[in-house]
Amino acid sequence: MTLIKDITFTQADIAKLEAEYAHKRPQDILAFALKQFDNITISFSGAEDVVLIDMAAKITRNIQVFSIDTGRLHPETYQFIDKVRKQYRVKIDVISPDAGEVEALVKEKGLFSFYKDGHKECCGIRKVRPLRRKLATVDAWITGQRKDQNPATRATVPVIQIDSAFSSGDRNLIKFNPLANWTSAQVWQYIHANEVPYNKLHNQGFISIGCQPCTRAVLPNQHERLGRWWWENAADKECGFHEINLISNNN
């Protein structure tokens, strides 16, 4: 299929592309995304994202990467971000939350209000709003979502979609999820086979890694999402990055 670069995609266009690419290799989906869009960025925080960076770096040297620094990440995660930056010689746009909003939340509710009130408010300030600022500057973004990461919210994640949660009235933001059909085992097979760097916390039983107060190690054979916001129901275990999953699954 030949397309004009950076055209405006309709829902019908995306439906056709999703059908065409649904069962293609992640590398093929990435190659299409990077060829189609100049103003496209890779969201980076975990193991899946570095797999995508590694794949993308083998396609083109011109890749954009961003990461959200919530201010509550593990020391190992900060070290991980810097290791990826150095290994792939890529500039990582590290986005921080609005200091005034963080200060106001902490002043009113303290540092650990999410254990009582749920994580949505804190994640909204520390993650979602900075993400919205970043996504307002691009035409498309690439994520490491997998269907099996959270069966309650991600079971139907497509490889290509219109991100209605972060699109604006005058433009459709396109979202690529090249690893949607991969399992965790496939991700780690790729990591070991290609000597891809990963967060040292994975060696300590952490699988899904977010902010330090909201992440813990899991036992062998436990689902990875049990280590995130463990005091909440499975259907609530989304920070807002992928709010469209909840929208889609509730329709």
Phi, psi dihedral angles at 173 (to 5 degrees): -85, 125
Q: Which residues contact 80 (CB under 8 A, 6 or more apart)?
A: 197, 198, 199, 200
Is 211 labeled as catalytic in the residue annotation? no
Q: Kindly state the DSSP code that residue 201 receives in the 8-state scheme.
A: G
Q: 3-state DSSP call for residue 115?
A: helix
Q: Give the integer Cα–Cα distance in Å for 169 and 74.
A: 37
Q: Give the integer Cα–Cα distance in Å for 67 and 22.
A: 26
Q: Give the integer Cα–Cα distance in Å for 177 and 158.
A: 7
Residues involved in catalysis? 239
